[in-house]
């Protein structure tokens, strides 16, 4: 005689949420439930479906969160099929919109202590990589005296103005603006501080940017008027320091790092570009370690990076599976995660809990 089959108790939303409250967001070090990242929880018998609302579509640790969530729910008796969907809501640095009236959620300055380290190349590929992950991205060429972004983005003109505002050009899902659109290619700009200040402010405020998750700003090299102007005009979510692997380049990069510290701009991290046998390796990582700054990653020296910039097809577009392109895309994810942490730290004291089940 066979015994009767014991029926498993029906799952409840409360039990599912309790299990998910043990899953920790790796960057923010808090659980998904208290962070209001579990949305649209639905039950069909013992089958469960829900959405994890990320703080950036470029989240580098999505896989870990999914693994941990599935493991937590597997502990529930009788749990059936688990379906996890993904969405993203990039947290906004509210200071930006309040000061200049543009809908920028976050502003990322890309800087270097000296020229020739590939800063613009990094800014361009970073912006495109963020857009490829699903973010709304703008790119401001703030190197007013030496603008190169249009060449790298494969555009030599921008659309006509609309409603008395400049309309940014767009390539590879990124909106961008540059002084190169407004002057002749052979026209030198011999400007002092006040004119640079006015030009940078106009490229920020007199452009129909629309709503952006990230505005990436390619700064001129060094620690001069443009950097000071930008910090005065626009609250920066953080700054990235680009260096080459040599100690000489790292020393120049250190000056940029210290400048942003004095301006009270958070350091998103350090990137070592052109790493390899020719220039060596390690100075960028050592700089980050010595000054307690995050190390975002290493970009190997690759001739195709230069070729892509010259041809208007950056390496993440022209050679997406190359080692350099993969490194840049991973760095973009690390940048997005770091910016989310910085922004949410500012907002931490103002979080208002709302319903997590919908």
DSSP 199-227: HHHHHHHSB----BSEEEEEPPSSSSHHH
Share above pLDDT 70 across residues of the chain, in percent, rounded to a whole number: 89
| pLDDT given for residue 135 in this prediction | 96
Q: Could you confirm whether domain 14-89 is CATH 3.30.300.130?
A: yes
What's the whole-number mean pLDDT along residues 220-248?
A: 82
Contact 62, 28 (CB under 8 A): no
8-12, 37-41, 174-178, 205-209: least confident range: 8-12
Beta-carbon contacts of residue 342 (< 8 Å; ≥ 6 apart): 237, 238, 266, 268
Q: Is the pLDDT of residue 64 over 90?
A: yes
- pLDDT surpassing 50 at residue 146: yes
Kindly report the pTM of this predicted structure. 0.88
Contact 111, 219 (CB under 8 A): yes
CATH superfamily of 94-347: P-loop containing nucleotide triphosphate hydrolases (3.40.50.300)
**Of the candidates 142, 216, 134, which has an alpha carbon nearest to the alpha carbon of residue 175?**
216
The first and second tokens of residue 198, run together, are 């006015």
Query: Does 14-89 match 94-347 in CATH topology?
Result: no
Whether residue 292 is predicted with pLDDT greater than 60 in this model: the reply is yes
Domain boundaries, the chain: 14-89, 94-347
């Amino acid at each position: 005689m066979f015994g009767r089959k014991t029926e498993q108790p029906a799952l409840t939303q409360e039990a599912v949420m309790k299990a998910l409250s043990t899953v920790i967001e790796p960057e923010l070090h808090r659980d998904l439930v208290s962070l209001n990242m579990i949305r649209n929880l639905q039950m069909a018998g013992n089958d469960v479906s829900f959405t994890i609302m990320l703080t950036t579509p470029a989240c580098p640790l999505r896989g870990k969160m999914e693994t941990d969530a599935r493991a937590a729910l597997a502990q529930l008796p009788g749990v059936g099929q688990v379906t996890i969907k993904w969405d993203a809501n990039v947290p906004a640095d509210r200071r930006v919109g309040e000061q200049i009236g543009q809908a920028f959620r976050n502003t990322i300055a890309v800087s270097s202590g000296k020229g020739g380290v590939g800063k613009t190349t990094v800014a361009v590929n970073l912006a495109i990589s963020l857009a490829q992950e699903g973010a709304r991205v703008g790119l401001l060429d703030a190197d007013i005296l030496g603008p190169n972004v249009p060449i790298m983005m494969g555009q030599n003109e921008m659309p006509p103005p609309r409603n008395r505002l400049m309309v940014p050009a767009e390539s590879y899902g990124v909106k961008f603006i540059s002084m190169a659109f407004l002057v002749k290619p052979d026209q030198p700009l011999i400007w002092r501080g006040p004119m640079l200040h006015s030009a940078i402010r106009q490229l920020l405020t007199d452009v129909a940017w629309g709503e952006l998750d990230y505005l990436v700003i390619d700064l001129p090299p060094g620690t001069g008027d443009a950097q000071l102007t930008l910090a005065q005009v626009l609250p920066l979510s953080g700054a990235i320091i680009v260096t080459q692997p040599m100690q000489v380049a790292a020393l120049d990069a250190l000056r940029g790092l210290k400048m942003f510290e004095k301006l009270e701009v958070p350091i998103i991290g350090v990137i070592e570009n052109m790493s390899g046998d020719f220039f060596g390796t390690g100075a960028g990582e050592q700089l980050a370690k010595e000054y307690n700054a995050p190390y975002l990653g290493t970009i190997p020296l690759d001739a195709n990076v230069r070729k892509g910039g010259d041809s208007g097809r950056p390496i993440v577009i022209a050679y997406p599976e190359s080692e350099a392109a993969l490194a840049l895309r991973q760095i973009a994810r690390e940048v997005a995660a770091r910016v989310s942490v910085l922004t949410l730290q500012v907002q931490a004291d103002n979080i208002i809990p709302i319903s997590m089940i919908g």
